[in-house]
Structure 1
Amino acid sequence: MQFESFGGPDALRLNDVPAPQAVAEQLRVRVTAAGLNPMDWFMTSDAETATRFGLSLPCGFGTDYAGVVDQVGPGVTDFAVGDRVFGGAMSRAVADYVLVEQAGAIATAGDVHRTPDGLDDRTAAVLTIAGCTASAALAVVGAGPDDTVLVGGAGGGVGVFVVQLARLAGARVIGTGSASSADVLRALGAEPVAYGEGMPDRVRAVAPQGVTAAIDLFGADTALAARQLGVRDERITTIAGRIDGITPANGADAAPGALDRIARLVAAGRLRVPIAATFPVERIREAVELQAARHVHGKVVIDLAGE
C-alpha cells in the first residue's frame, strides 16, 4: 500500500513494486498480517505532518507487522530463513515484504522480534506500537500494588494493554470510556466510568479513597481530571495531549525487552489482545476508516497471507 499524495484512506493505492532485497544486517520478512494504529493515518494525513515524521512520497502505510523471515543479508546472526517474527517498520508494514534490521529501531530501519510459540501472526501483528506505548506509559507513572490508576480511553488499542499490564502489576484500574465499552473494560479487569462532563465526580464515587496515578490515552481531559482528583503531576502521563508539568509517554522509550515480555504474556494466556476486525488488503480503506473512528474496541488487522 502506498501514498502517491498524502491524505485520507482514499489516497491509498495498492501498487506492484519490485521485491526489496536484504543487504548487510537486514532481514526480509514475508508479511502475513499488519496491525493498524492511530499514528498510521495521523502521520500520513497531510504533507506537513508527514515531514515531521521524516516521511516522503511515494510513502508506504502501516507500522506493525508479523510474518516469516525469507531472506537474510550478510552479518545477520540472530535470525534465519523460516523464523516467525514480528515488529515495527514505520509506514512500511502493509506490503508483501518488509526489510528490517536485526538491531534496528522502528522509526528508522525497523525492528524485529522472534514470535513465541503459541502466538498467532494476527495477534503478533498488533503488539508493537500499542505494547511499547503502554509499557512506556506505565513506567512513567510507576503503577504498583498500592495504586489506583485512572486510565482515559481504556478500551482503545493501547488501553487494552495498559489496563491488563497495570492489573498484572497489582494495581486497581478505573477506566474511562463510552457506555458501550463498559463490558469490554470489565472483561479486561478495569472498573468502567463514563467519560465527559462530571467524570471526576463519578471517579470519586467509585474510588472514594482517591486515585494515585493517571494515564490519558486520548487527549488531555483525563489528565486534567486527575489533577482535580489530587494526583501529583509526576504520576500523570499522556500519549497524545501535551500539558505543562506532565511528562508524556512515548513508545520509543519503552524499556529493552518490554515488547518481548508482552509477547510472552500473550502467548501464555496471561494478557488478552482483542482483535476487533480483520480485513483483506483490498479493503484497507474500510479498515482505516473503522480504526480512525476511534470507537472500535480492540485492534484492527490487515491480512496479507493470501488465505
Structure 2
Amino acid sequence: MRAMALNNYGTADELTETELPDPKVAPGEVLIRVRAAGVNPVDWKLASGGLDPVMEAGFPMIPGWDVAGVVEATGFDVPEYRVGDEVYGYIRKDWAQNGAYAELVSASVRMIAHKPLSLDWNQAAGVPLAALTALQSIDRVVPVSGETVLVHAAAGGVGSFGVQIARARGARVIGTASERNHEFLRSLGAEPVTYGEGLTERVRALAPEGVDAALDFVGEDAVEASLPLLEEPARLVSIADPSAAEHGGHYLWVRPDHDDLVELGRLADRGKLSVHVERAFPLSEAADAWRLNQEGRTRGKIVLTV
C-alpha cells in the first residue's frame, strides 16, 4: 500500500511517500480503506519524538489517528461491521507506528463507529480526535442549560466543536479568538472575545458574575485567566496545561470511545455539529499540511484525501 511515513523521528522534511505492506487485521479489528485522514498537532509532535517518554514507537512510522473510510475486511469475531460499511474513528493504538496517512489502516472496533450520513469524507475525517476531545472535556464539567461556558481557542479544531456541543446542551458560550474569527464564532452560536492581555476583564464585561465552566484548548495563560472567573475550580478543564489539575480542575488526554463517536454522529446528523474544513491536501502533500498546521492559525480542520 501507499503511505506517508518516517524512518526515524523527524520533521515534515522527513515525511516521505513510500510503499509498505498491507496491515494485518487482528481479532476484533477491521481493515479500513482510507478515504480521508485528519491532521492534528499531535501527529507532528509525535513524529518529532515529543511523546517518546510515554509511548512506544516503531519505524517506519505512519502518522495519523483520525480516519474516515470503508471497511475492506474484518478480523475474527466482528459482528458490528461488514465489508463496505462506511466508518470513521480515532484510531490511537497502544504504540505509534501504523496510522491513517495510508491507503489502508487496521483499527479496533472500540475506536470506530459508522460515519455520520450528513458528513462527506473530509468532514468526517476532521471529527474524531478534535470532537472527542471537546465532548470528553465537556463531560468533565457537565454544563447544563442556561449556564455560561468559556471556551479558549474557540475557532480552532477542538474549540469549534466545543462551542457547538456546549450550545447543543443549552449553555451560553463565550469563546476566545482573534478578531478575524469573531464572525465565525458568532455563526456557531458563541459570543466572541479577543484573547491576550486583559482577557479576564473582557469576559467579565460579558458575564459580570463570572462563568460556570471553562475549557482550555490552547494552554499559554488560559488557566490563569479562567480561575478568577470560576466559582468552582473543579469546573476547569485543560488539554494543554497540567497546572489545571493542581488548581482543582482537570488535565485531559482524549481516549478512543465508540459510544462518544456515535453521539457525535447523532449531533452531526441532527444539524447540531458542523465541520469546517479549512483545507484538504492530497496524501502526497502531507508535509505541507503539517507546515500549515504548525502555524497555529487554522480555523477548523486540515485533512488529507486518499
TM-score (structure 1 length as normaliser):
0.91
Letter in 2 for 1:156: G
Matches within 5 A, 1:264-283: 264-283=266-285
Match of 1:79 in 2: 81
Give CA-to-partner distance per residue, 1:191-214, whole Å, 9 cap, x none: 111111111111111222321211
Specify the SS of the correspondent of 1:29: strand
Matches within 5 A, 1:54-65: 54-65=56-67
Match of 2:167 in 1: 167
Specify the SS of the correspondent of 1:32: strand
Q: How many residues are paired up?
A: 295
CA distance in 2, matches of 1:148, 1:176: 14
CA distance in 1, matches of 2:101, 2:64: 5
- Of 227, 245, 252, 1:249 maps to 252
Q: How far 1:95 sits from its partner (Å)?
A: 0.4
Specify the SS of the correspondent of 2:18: coil
Match of 1:117 in 2: 117
Match of 1:8 in 2: 11
Give CA-to-partner distance per residue, 1:205-262, whole Å, 9 cap, x none: 12223212111100052221121224421011100111113211222186x6222111
Specify the SS of the correspondent of 1:55: strand
Q: Which has the higher strand share?
A: 2
Name the Cα RMSD after superposition.
1.6
CA distance in 2, matches of 1:260, 1:131: 12
Match of 1:259 in 2: 261
CA distance in 2, matches of 1:182, 1:220: 20
Matches within 5 A, 1:148-159: 148-159=148-159
Structure 1's unaligned 5+ residue stretches are 104-110
Match of 1:190 in 2: 190
Q: Which moved more, 1:70-79 or 1:188-197?
A: 70-79
Question: Structure 1 residue 293 and structure 2 residue 295: aligned?
Answer: yes
Specify the SS of the correspondent of 2:59: coil
Structure 2's unaligned 5+ residue stretches are none
Specify the SS of the correspondent of 1:150: strand
Match of 1:93 in 2: 100
Identical columns (%): 36
Question: Structure 1 residue 28 and structure 2 residue 31: aligned?
Answer: yes
Whether the 8 Å CA contact 2:91–2:108 is kept in 1: the answer is no
Q: Which moved more, 1:61-70 or 1:89-98?
A: 89-98
Q: How far 1:17 sits from its partner (Å)?
A: 1.0
Flag the 1:82–1:116 CA change in 2: closer, same or farther, 3 A: same
CA distance in 2, matches of 1:275, 1:14: 23
Flag the 1:80–1:2 CA change in 2: closer, same or farther, 3 A: same
Give CA-to-partner distance per residue, 1:71-103, whole Å, 9 cap, x none: 122222111111111112235011000011223
CA distance in 2, matches of 1:32, 1:148: 38
CA distance in 2, matches of 1:116, 1:298: 18
Match of 2:238 in 1: 238
Question: Structure 1 residue 43 and structure 2 residue 46: aligned?
Answer: yes
